[in-house]
């Protein structure tokens, strides 16, 4: 009974229009896929986009995958206000410096000028810090493990659906702990949750590690990040987890009475992942025919296209309905029984929309008591007996999920180059070929020198043991750092 998540073909749209080549016109390819697959659309306020039902259904599945992991690690959802008093934002010095230029301000409400402007939240550390100071009294109240799903606003002039928008949907976790170690462990644990989610649910492999200090979140002690590599060789920061130390605890006076009867500041963390990751998964897997969705987050995992021409039409339709209802509890399946478009049109259309598996059923197939399964990636047509579909379909979907991960992993692995000299580094960055792995002595001057080479930034500090020299000063490397141009 559920309505299709995509529009009917309209008179004028005709056959699926061409999508630019992904290899040659990557940015245009991305925009075309987002618009044609009806994932998102532009909106008259610059920087704002609309997420259409098919795109939102992917986001809902992503939310479920994350939310399940958050709850399994003891976190609870809550909701904090959209508006943050200007004075709150100013309490933590680095925080206000980092965010003030990006803030949208409400200055008028209910017909009156406000005495204190209200920030539309760019992130909620300050609002939540204020509440935690009210709620936390004793060590018994710790840890506080809260997440919220909400919209945030950061002023942006450029707009790329999902990747860069003024308003975006995300989740932000905010936790408070008794000890420094507990805070550090939480921030690392949530990074690992993000990594597992990206790889397991989205088939997007990532590098994970600590941000250099120059790139950390405003107000954080340390920031951790997962970074995916896009097909144009640029990195996408896909989720971050921050150990905030006692910076916000001091700014908002969040104290607890410990079991030794002394008052102490708590240790806090925050971590966030936004719909930007949805943009990442579009870029990572799509091809020249359009979107490719990993089965775990595909609104329709399989589409049944019955061949309804000629004799045997009614029998085919009846059998297709029976396949759909047989698969339905375990598989998100859609029966495309439209008669105003041809099967060939449907094949193209569903491929463009990234449905992982097509199930074809014609009169001849029905005569042989079989259907033909056509995976979106990996190629091949596989005839499967009708009474084996309930087993075969979930198994092929799992296979597709793995194929996508392996493809993306192979791409990532083959796009990491190691540079030991500044010339090698500059050449690798200029080639736009992915991550450049370098040793780093730890001096900020050396980081600054490399930043000037072609617009790359240090994406993360890995936990690997450094081998070679720092390419900038030639001194001994203390860390391994991955550089890339980035979104």
Quote the CA–CA distance of 453 and 434 in Å, as a whole number. 14
Taking the mean position of all CA atoms in its chain, how far away is CA 264?
36
- Strand, coil or helix: what is 70? helix
CA–CA gap between residue 454 and residue 425 (Å, rounded): 10
Residue among 297, 306, 307, 291 at smallest CA distance from 332: 297
Q: Which of 45, 398, 430, 476 binds a second copy (CB under 8 A)?
A: 45
Task: Please answer whether residues 470 and 215 qualify as being in contact, where contact means their C-beta atoms are separated by less than 8 angstroms.
Answer: no
| 102 binding a second copy? (CB under 8 A) | yes
Q: Using CB under 8 A, which of the segments 116-124, 204-212, 240-248, 410-418 binds a second copy?
A: 116-124
Q: Minimum Å distance from CB 83 to a second copy?
A: 5
d(CA 442, CA 213): 10
Q: 């936790």: which residue's tokens? A: 175
Q: DSSP readout, 300-355?
A: -SEEEEE--SSTTHHHHHHHHHHHHHHHTTTS-EEE---SSS-HHHHHHHHHHTT-
Supply φ then ψ for residue 226, to 5 degrees.
-110, 135
Is residue 41 close enough to count as binding a second copy by CB under 8 A? Answer: yes
With respect to a second copy, which residue has the nearer C-beta, 48 or 386? 48
Which of 82, 386, 427, 449: binder of a second copy (CB under 8 A)?
82
Per CB under 8 A, the list member of 20, 35, 90, 141 interacting with a second copy is 141
6 and 23 in contact (C-beta within 8 Å)?
no
Rounded CA separation 362/312 (Å): 9
Considering only residues 224 to 263 of the shown chain, the ones binding a second copy according to CB under 8 A are 257
Considering only 102-110, 359-367, 442-450, 460-468, which stretch makes contact with a second copy by CB under 8 A? 102-110
How many of the chain's residues bind a second copy (CB under 8 A)?
Answer: 78
In our burial notation (b when 16+ CB lie closer than 10 A, e otherwise), range 351-363 reads bbbbbbbbbbbbb
**CB of residue 102 to a second copy, shortest distance in Å:** 7
The reply on whether position 15 binds a second copy by CB under 8 A is: no
Q: Tell whether residue 445 is a contact of a second copy (CB under 8 A).
A: no
User: Between 173 and 439, whose beta carbon lies closer to a second copy?
Assistant: 173
Our finding on whether 28 is near a second copy (CB under 8 A) is no
From residue 234, alpha-carbon distances to 24, 224, 289, 406, 455 in Å are 15, 19, 22, 19, 11
Taking CB under 8 A as the rule, does residue 24 contact a second copy? no
Interaction between residue 50 and a second copy (CB under 8 A): yes
Tokens 């204190």: give the residue. Answer: 116
Applying CB under 8 A, which of residues 96, 153, 278, 291 lies at the interface with a second copy? 153
Q: Select from 21, 23, 27, 71 the one that contacts a second copy (CB under 8 A).
A: 71
**Is residue 472 a contact partner of residue 450, using CB atoms and an 8 Å limit?**
yes
Q: How many residues does the chain have?
A: 487
Does 158 participate in binding a second copy (rule CB under 8 A)?
no
| CB hemisphere CA count around 14 (13 angstroms) | 3
Helix, strand or coil, per DSSP, at residue 383: strand
At closest approach, how far in Å is the CB of 81 from a second copy? 4
Question: Of the candidates 34, 51, 220, 404, which one interacts with a second copy according to CB under 8 A?
Answer: 51
Q: Which residue has the tokens 């859609």?
A: 334
Which of the residues 276 through 335 are near a second copy (CB under 8 A)?
none
- In terms of Cα–Cα distance, which of 102, 63, 44 is closest to 197? 63
CB of 146 to a second copy, least distance (A): 6
| Contact between 57 and a second copy per CB under 8 A | yes
108 touching a second copy, by CB under 8 A: yes
Neighbours of 431 (CB within 10 A): 12
User: Please, which of residues 393-412 interact with a second copy by CB under 8 A?
Assistant: none
State the nearest-atom distance from the C-beta of 343 to a second copy, in Å: 18
Q: Which is nearer to a second copy, 74 or 467 (CB)?
A: 74
For the CB of residue 291, give the shortest distance to a second copy in the complex, in Å.
17
Q: Which is nearer to a second copy, 139 or 411 (CB)?
A: 139
Q: To the nearest whole angstrom, how small is the minimum distance from the Cβ of residue 176 to a second copy?
A: 12
Q: Does 65 bind a second copy (CB under 8 A)?
A: no
Out of 14, 101, 367, 383, point to the residue binding a second copy (CB under 8 A): 101
CB of 175 to a second copy, least distance (A): 10
Nearer to a second copy, 155 or 265 (CB): 155
User: Is 146 near a second copy (CB under 8 A)?
Assistant: yes
């Amino acid at each position: 009974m559920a309505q299709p998540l995509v529009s009917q073909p309209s008179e004028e749209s005709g056959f699926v229009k061409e999508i630019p080549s992904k290899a040659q016109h990557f940015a245009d390819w991305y925009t075309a896929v987002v618009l044609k697959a009806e994932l998102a659309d532009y909106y008259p306020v610059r920087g704002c986009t609309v997420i259409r039902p098919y795109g939102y259904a992917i986001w809902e599945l992503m939310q479920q995958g994350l939310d399940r992991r958050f709850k399994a690690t003891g976190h609870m959802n809550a909701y904090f206000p959209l508006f943050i008093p200007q004075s709150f934002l100013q309490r933590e010095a680095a925080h206000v410096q980092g965010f003030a230029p990006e803030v949208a301000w409400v200055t008028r409400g209910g017909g009156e000028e406000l005495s204190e402007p209200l920030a539309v939240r760019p992130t909620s550390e300050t609002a939540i810090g204020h509440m935690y100071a009210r709620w936390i009294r004793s060590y018994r109240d710790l840890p506080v493990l809260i997440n919220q799903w909400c919209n945030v606003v950061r002023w942006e002039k450029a707009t790329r659906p999902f990747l860069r928008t003024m308003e975006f949907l995300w989740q932000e976790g905010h936790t408070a702990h008794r000890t420094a170690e507990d805070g550090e462990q939480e921030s690392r644990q949530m990074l690992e949750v993000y990594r597992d989610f990206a790889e397991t649910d989205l088939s997007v492999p990532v590098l994970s590690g600590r941000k250099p200090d120059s790139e950390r979140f405003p107000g954080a002690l340390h920031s951790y990040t997962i970074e995916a590599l896009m097909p144009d060789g640029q990195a996408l920061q896909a989720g971050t987890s921050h150990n905030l130390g006692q910076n916000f605890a001091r700014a908002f006076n969040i104290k607890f009475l410990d079991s030794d009867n002394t008052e102490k500041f708590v240790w806090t963390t925050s971590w966030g992942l936004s719909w930007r990751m949805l943009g990442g998964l579009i870029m990572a897997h799509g091809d020249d025919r359009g979107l490719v969705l990993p089965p775990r987050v595909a609104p329709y995992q399989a589409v049944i296209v019955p061949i309804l021409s000629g004799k045997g039409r009614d029998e085919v339709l009846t059998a297709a309905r029976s396949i759909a209802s047989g698969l339905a509890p375990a598989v998100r399946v859609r029966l495309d029984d439209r008669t105003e478009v041809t099967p060939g049109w449907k094949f193209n259309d569903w491929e463009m929309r990234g449905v992982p598996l097509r199930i074809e059923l014609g009169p001849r197939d029905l005569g042989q008591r079989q259907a033909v399964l056509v995976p979106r990636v990996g190629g091949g047509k596989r005839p499967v007996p009708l009474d084996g579909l309930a087993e075969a379909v979930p198994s092929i979907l799992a296979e597709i999920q793995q194929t996508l991960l392996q493809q993306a992993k192979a791409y990532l692995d083959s796009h990491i180059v190691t540079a030991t000299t500044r010339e090698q580094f500059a050449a690798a960055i200029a080639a736009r070929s992915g991550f450049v792995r370098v040793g780093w002595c730890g001096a900020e001057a050396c980081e600054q020198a490399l930043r000037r080479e072609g617009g790359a930034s240090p994406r993360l500090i890995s936990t690997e043991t450094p081998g070679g020299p720092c390419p900038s000063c030639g001194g001994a490397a203390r860390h391994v750092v991955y550089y890339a141009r980035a979104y």
